[in-house]
Amino acid sequence: MNQKFLDFVQPFLSARMAVAVSGGVDSVALLHWLVAAGADVVVLHVNHGLRAAATAEEEYVRETAARLGVPCHVFHWSGDKPAAGLEAAARTARYRMMTDFCRANGLEYLAVAHQADDQIETFLMNLARGSGVAGLSGMRAVTVRDGVKILRPLLGVPRAALEKYCNDNNIRYFYDEMNDDARYMRVRIRKNRHVLRDMLGISDERILLAMRNLGRARDAAACDVSSAVDSVMDGDRAIFSDSFLFDLGADIGLQFIAALIMKIGGGEYQPRLKSLEMALDKLTSDCKFTLGGCVVRRLGDKILIAREGARTSFRKRHESKHKK
């Protein structure tokens, strides 16, 4: 077992938690390590019905959970599937089903198996997109999605260590053929990362160090942004003046809008930098648009952000109750 994993997971072992298990090497290793560490876990598996091996993977996850003596719940993604953006839609559906289960069953934590190689690949993908500090900082070890704390105990563990553990202990796992599909940017990066190391001398460790440094800068700025966000919330939406936004300065203003979109829209990840920059530009005059599951509206010198489908009146909640 990995010491970085043990150091991270130790404070959470007293709480019952869910663990997402796909059947791939990362999540299978995570499940075994959590059980070995003494965690009280419930296995959650989502069968998207998109791959030929989906049924076999579901059965294997059930069998593995039973062998380890832990309960297992399986969800099926039914209904129409989008022709475009299928991967993102599947991820959204997967998280929705799992977080719904966690809330319904009083589970505060959901452990997922993102590991160090995922961090590096995410960094390089976001670097190619021209992302800012938030994107280049990578995934946080603890985040909140739909009221459930998402734990990533493996962010300090490379994929090779997880494969070695499973292979050395004769633990079977499934291999996703999409990992070899060069149509995906992540796969192209994965297959060519060696160029950075071998030809440019940029090791994985140096990339992870840079990400940790960027993460500290992101978190420091987030403290001020968090206070600003709290000051403009009106129940489950936000209302504030245009001067409040634009007096923050462009960089902080982008982080402020991103934090509000995540808080109100319920997403785990902020919109892309380009989308945030476009939003900030639109908000220089009267407008109404959607972003990250939210309606964003400016009227005169007031700006409102509410979840899609909610009312977009600028009247404060307490004013409405008073007038009734």
Q: Which residues contact 55 (CB under 8 A, 6 or more apart)?
A: 47
CB atoms within 10 A of CB 128: 11
The verdict on residue 11 lying in a domain is yes
Q: Which residue has 């559906």 as its token pair?
A: 93
Structurally, the chain folds into a number of domains equal to: 2
First to last CA, the chain: 61
Which amino acid appears at position 94 of this protein?
A: R
Which CATH number goes with the domain that contains 294?
A: 3.30.465
Q: Which of 148, 171, 194 finishes a domain?
A: 194
**How many CB atoms sit inside 10 A of residue 12's CB?**
19
**What is the value of pTM for the model shown?**
0.74
Residue 143 located in a structural domain = yes
- Clarify whether residues 188 and 234 are in a common domain: no
**Which helix (DSSP H) or strand (DSSP E) does residue 301 occupy?**
none
Residue 282 belongs to some domain of the structure: yes
Classified as helix, coil or strand, 45 is: strand
Q: What is the DSSP letter of 141?
A: S
In a domain, 212, yes or no: no
CATH number of the domain that residue 43 is part of? 3.40.50.620
pLDDT truncated to tens, each residue of the chain (324 aa)? 789 999 999 999 999 999 999 999 999 999 999 999 999 999 999 998 878 788 999 999 999 999 999 999 999 988 777 777 777 888 888 999 999 999 999 999 999 999 999 999 999 998 988 887 878 888 989 988 888 999 999 999 999 999 999 999 999 999 877 777 788 888 899 989 989 989 999 999 999 999 998 888 777 666 668 888 888 998 889 999 888 888 766 777 888 899 899 999 988 778 888 899 999 999 989 999 999 999 999 999 899 999 998 877 777 655 544 444
Handedness of CA 56, 60, 61, 66 (dihedral sign): positive
For residues 207 and 214, what is the distance between their CA atoms, to the nearest angstrom?
A: 11
Does any domain span residue 213? no
In a domain, 26, yes or no: yes
Residues 283 and 136 occupy one common structural domain: no
Give yes or no: residues 249 and 116 share one domain.
Answer: no
- Is 205 a domain residue? no
Domain stops at, among 194, 211, 245: 194
Strand, coil or helix: what is 289? strand
180 and 256 part of one domain: no
Give the residue from 287, 218, 297, 207 showing the smallest Cα distance to 259: 218
In a domain, residue 132? The reply is: yes
Q: Yes or no: say if 220 and 233 are a contact pair by the CB < 8 Å rule.
A: no
Residue span of the structural domain in which 254 resides: 225-323
Q: Is 165 in the same domain as 307? A: no
Residues ≥6 apart with Cβ < 8 Å to 110 = 17, 18, 19, 20, 44, 98, 99, 102, 145, 148, 149, 150, 151
